[in-house]
Amino acid sequence: MSSLGESGERKTAIGLMSGTSMDGIDAAYIVSDGVSVEKIGPSISIPMPEALQDTIRTVMNRATNATSRNDPIPDLESLSHEITVLHAKAVQTLLTTYDLDPRSIDMIGFHGQTITHKPEKGWTWQIGCGQTLANLTGIPVINDFRSNDMKHGGEGAPLVPVYHAALLKNSKDDEKARAILNLGGVANVTWVKWTGNSVDLLAFDTGPANALSNDWAREHTGQRYDKDGNLAAQGTTHEDVLMGLMASPYFDEHPPKSLDRDDFTISSLRGLNATDGASTLIDFTVEAIVSAQSHFPESVAAWYVCGGGVHNRTMMRRLRKHIPVMIDPVDAMGWNSDSLEAEAFAFLAIRSQRNLPLSFPETTGTSEAVTGGVYYSPLT
């Protein structure tokens, strides 16, 4: 790849992300032309009610076991509607909290909730209705960011790399290779190297980030996640179990590559006590990230980390122990680790409206650089 595109008219957009952790909906405001980022934030997050999380989990299992997108999935329509209404609430909360005029927002980038992701079948599924969200907010909506990618032979994920590249342009250490790591439910990394106005990228999902630890914590402590990694910090990693998890052929596969939330499970940890299981899972996340470096075209000068895993002290400590270069939360660069993915979907919406590419052979494996997203204008 070379440049991110020519500069253009700047737009204001709100990005909405409800990720694989299912813990809440993030909404972030940005001003950008889809090439460079003029203003980041404000942003908010609203929690996903427990009952809704349970329904998502049920529908996720049904969708994962479905044989095609045409299989009838009980509760899918009502869940999709409920998720859309909650996203409208997230937009409203952002607007009212920061006294923003909805008429000043050009568009919303709406990721939706992934219920299954099967790149090997050319199939990825995000639920939520773009038209309903446009009608509820009165703001144009762009959603369905991943379908066109898959139509062009891509993995459908990760899509945030182009935003990572835009953020790193004009930052300090401009011309060194750097990595941006997202520690959400699943972890994904973008390797970025700018040379003048030309950028080289490589991106892929490295393995689980918090999803398995969350499942483990839920089962063993009743908590939604292992706060600060305290449970894991008290445990001892079982190397045999860790080696078994790392034996998956996924880690040697050359990128581009992507994962579904449940491609790895906690089943091989059965029998471990709560603390040892938690410790082993954190080391699994870390080891997968360490091994991801073998795919980098060249080693990086620094890592910048975003996503909820930034708050897991044990995870960050062990990452720093195993990777010998600087590892900082993206906040050290003046960005926001909690809202960066939502910002990315605002940025992608602006690019979509300008017909600029969202996906590249080096990020998702599309046959060529392609745009994506579907536009909905409010009808009421």
Ligand X SMILES: Nc1ncnc2c1ncn2[C@@H]1O[C@H](COP(=O)(O)OP(=O)(O)OP(=O)(O)O)[C@@H](O)[C@H]1O
Ligand Y SMILES: CC(=O)N[C@H]1[C@@H]2OC[C@@H](O2)[C@@H](O)[C@@H]1O[C@H](C)C(=O)O
Q: Which residues bind ligand Y (CB under 6 A)?
A: 19-20, 114, 117, 124, 157-160, 182, 184-186, 188, 205, 258, 341
Q: Which helix (H) or strand (E) holds 27?
A: strand 24-32
DSSP string, 87-138: HHHHHHHHHHHTT--GGG--EEEEEEEEEEEEGGGTEEEEES-HHHHHHHHT
Binding to ligand X, residues 195-224 (CB under 6 A): 210, 214
Cα gap 228→32, rounded to integer Å: 34
> Which of 241/330 has CB closer to ligand Y?
330
Closest contact distance (angstroms) between CB of 274 and ligand Y is: 26
19 counts as binding ligand X under rule CB under 6 A: yes
> Which of 130/309 has CB closer to ligand X?
309
Cα gap 160→333, rounded to integer Å: 17
Q: For residue 22, say whether it is annotated as part of any ligand binding site.
A: yes
> Which of 135/206 has CB closer to ligand X?
206
Closest contact distance (angstroms) between CB of 184 and ligand Y is: 5
Cα gap 202→298, rounded to integer Å: 11
Closest contact distance (angstroms) between CB of 53 and ligand X is: 10
Those residues whose C-beta lies under 8 Å from the C-beta of residue 117, and which sit 6 or more positions away, are 123, 124, 125, 156, 157, 258, 259, 260, 261
Which of 319, 60, 63 shows the shortest CA–CA distance to 187? 319
Closest contact distance (angstroms) between CB of 340 and ligand Y is: 9
Cβ count near 232 (within 10 Å): 28
Cα gap 56→33, rounded to integer Å: 34
Of the candidate residues 57, 81, 118, 311, the single one contacting ligand X (CB under 6 A): 311
**Three-point CA angle 71, 77, 83, nearest 5°:** 130
Choose from ligand X, ligand Y, none: what does 117 bind? Cβ within 5-8 Å by kind.
ligand Y
Closest contact distance (angstroms) between CB of 21 and ligand Y is: 9
Side-chain half-sphere exposure of 57, counting CA atoms within 13 A: 12
Q: Are residues 290 and 277 in contact, defined by beta-carbon separation less than 8 angstroms?
A: no
Closest contact distance (angstroms) between CB of 132 and ligand X is: 22
> Which of 177/187 has CB closer to ligand Y?
187
Which of 295, 334, 327 shows the shortest CA–CA distance to 313? 327
Of the candidate residues 154, 308, 365, 372, the single one contacting ligand X (CB under 6 A): 308
Choose from ligand X, ligand Y, none: what does 121 bind? Cβ within 5-8 Å by kind.
none
Choose from ligand Y, ligand X, none: what does 312 bind? Cβ within 5-8 Å by kind.
ligand X
Q: For residue 24, say whether it is annotated as part of any ligand binding site.
A: yes
49 counts as binding ligand X under rule CB under 6 A: no
Select the span of 12-20, 119-127, 137-145, 372-380 touching ligand X (CB under 6 A): 12-20
Those residues whose C-beta lies under 8 Å from the C-beta of residue 146, and which sit 6 or more positions away, are 124, 126, 156, 157, 159, 372
Closest contact distance (angstroms) between CB of 132 and ligand Y is: 20
> Which of 186/202 has CB closer to ligand X?
186
Q: For residue 23, say whether it is annotated as part of any ligand binding site.
A: yes
Q: Are residues 132 and 84 in contact, defined by beta-carbon separation less than 8 angstroms?
A: yes
Which of 139, 29, 143, 19 shows the shortest CA–CA distance to 88? 139
- For ligand X, the binding residues (CB under 6 A) are 17, 19-21, 23, 182, 184-186, 210, 214, 225-229, 307-309, 311-312, 341
Residues in binding site:
19-26
Residues in binding site for ATP:
19-26
